[in-house]
């Protein structure tokens, strides 16, 4: 399993009780902020390293689409298993349906998990920092894969800021912190999240997390609408429907 460091506690817990023998590799949080080209390159290098060992039957990805950071990723000689999700918060909520319902019912929410609080620097975990370039990458709304770094490359900094503000106006209008309790975080993290919300004058809510998708990623089976199996030789593409991602055979330029 190759996973974002944001899932550190959750993935280790799921692997510890998995019916499968799973090795874990974590990549640094924040790859989605560097643009999809850099993110997919880092993931491809990790996939290729795991494939080269010749010992794995499948490679599991603890990632969501995250600003198109999976687009172009290719399976080598073993299949890739990928959750169908626009952003990582979906996995903490346990299902796309539950996250979508919460998101649209609670606009202006800044999410906190143990990974967000422990695995980021103080600056990077601040809403002032990440409202535009962090959580907004996957917090602009289910179905929207917007990446600030790529917008800057295409349109320049000023226009990129305008686009991000238009697509995710809540980034400058946070009004609540939602602490997602997964059942394995140190108890003091909730208190820290409460204090941060109070300091900003925001509401605070503790939301019960759900390990269902994370356990299913570690355990399988990977059938149905929640996971994509990328067969050897195929690569990931984005779909603009409820399936989120799909696969296609590579052309000769990708050989």
Angle (CA) 11 12 16, round 5° = 115
Chain mean pLDDT for the chain = 84
Q: What is the spatial distance between Cα 131 and Cα 140, in angstroms, rounded to a whole number?
A: 10
pTM: 0.81
Q: Name which residue leads in pLDDT, 89 or 143.
A: 89
Helices 212-219 + 8-16 axis angle, to 10: 50
**Distances in Å between the alpha carbon of 163 and those of 113, 124, 130, 146, 179?**
27, 21, 15, 9, 28
Asked if residue 177 lies in contact with residue 112, where contact means CB atoms within 8 angstroms, the answer is: yes
For the chain, how many structural domains are there in total? 2
Identify the DSSP state of 249: -
Per cent of the chain over pLDDT 90 is 65
Task: Based on the fold, state whether residues 53 and 125 are members of the same structural domain.
Answer: no
Residue 30 confidence (pLDDT): 76
Task: Based on the fold, state whether residues 106 and 191 are members of the same structural domain.
Answer: yes
Per residue in 116-129, pLDDT (tens digit) is 899 874 434 444 33
Task: Based on the fold, state whether residues 101 and 42 are members of the same structural domain.
Answer: no
Task: Based on the fold, state whether residues 150 and 56 are members of the same structural domain.
Answer: no
Task: Based on the fold, state whether residues 114 and 181 are members of the same structural domain.
Answer: yes
Per cent of the chain over pLDDT 70 is 76
Task: Based on the fold, state whether residues 27 and 15 are members of the same structural domain.
Answer: yes
Q: What is the spatial distance between Cα 184 and Cα 199, in angstroms, rounded to a whole number?
A: 26
Task: Based on the fold, state whether residues 103 and 147 are members of the same structural domain.
Answer: yes
Task: Based on the fold, state whether residues 49 and 74 are members of the same structural domain.
Answer: yes
Work out the pLDDT band at 68, boundaries 50, 70, 90.
Answer: confident
**Mean pLDDT across the stretch 127-148?**
42
**Mean pLDDT across the stretch 93-110?**
93
Per residue in 142-199, pLDDT (tens digit) is 444 455 565 666 666 666 666 665 555 544 578 999 999 999 999 999 999 999 999 9
Weakest mean pLDDT among 3-7, 150-154, 229-233, 237-241 = 150-154
Q: What is the spatial distance between Cα 162 and Cα 153, in angstroms, rounded to a whole number?
A: 14
pLDDT at position 141 over 60: no
Task: Based on the fold, state whether residues 203 and 99 are members of the same structural domain.
Answer: yes
Task: Based on the fold, state whether residues 82 and 102 are members of the same structural domain.
Answer: no
Task: Based on the fold, state whether residues 84 and 117 are members of the same structural domain.
Answer: no
Q: Which of 177, 193, 208 is the last residue of a domain?
A: 208
Task: Based on the fold, state whether residues 203 and 106 are members of the same structural domain.
Answer: yes
**Containing structural domain, residue 23:** 2-88+212-254
């Amino acid at each position: 399993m190759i996973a974002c460091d944001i899932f550190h506690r959750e993935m280790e817990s799921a692997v510890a009780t998995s019916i499968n023998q799973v090795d874990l590799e974590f990549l640094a949080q924040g790859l989605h902020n560097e643009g999809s080209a850099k993110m997919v390159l880092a993931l491809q290098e990790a996939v290729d390293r795991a494939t080269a060992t010749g010992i794995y039957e499948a490679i599991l990805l603890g990632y969501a689409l995250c600003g198109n950071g999976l687009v172009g990723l290719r399976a080598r000689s073993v299949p890739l298993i990928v959750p169908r999700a626009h952003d990582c918060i979906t996995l903490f909520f346990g299902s796309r349906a539950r996250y979508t319902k919460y998101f649209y019912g609670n606009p202006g929410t800044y999410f906190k998990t143990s990974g967000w609080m422990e695995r980021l620097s103080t600056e990077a975990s601040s809403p002032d920092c990440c409202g535009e370039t962090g959580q907004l990458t996957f917090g602009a709304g289910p179905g929207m894969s917007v990446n600030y770094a790529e917008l800057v490359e295409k349109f320049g900094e000023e226009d990129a800021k305008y686009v991000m503000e238009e697509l995710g106006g809540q980034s400058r209008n946070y009004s609540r912190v939602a602490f997602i309790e997964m059942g394995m975080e140190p108890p003091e993290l909730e208190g820290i999240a409460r204090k941060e919300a109070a300091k900003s004058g925001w509401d605070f809510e503790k939301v019960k997390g759900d390990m269902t998708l994370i356990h299913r990623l570690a355990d399988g089976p990977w059938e149905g609408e929640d996971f994509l199996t990328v067969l050897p030789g195929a690569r990931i593409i984005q779909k603009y429907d409820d399936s989120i991602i799909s696969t296609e055979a590579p052309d000769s330029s990708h050989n």
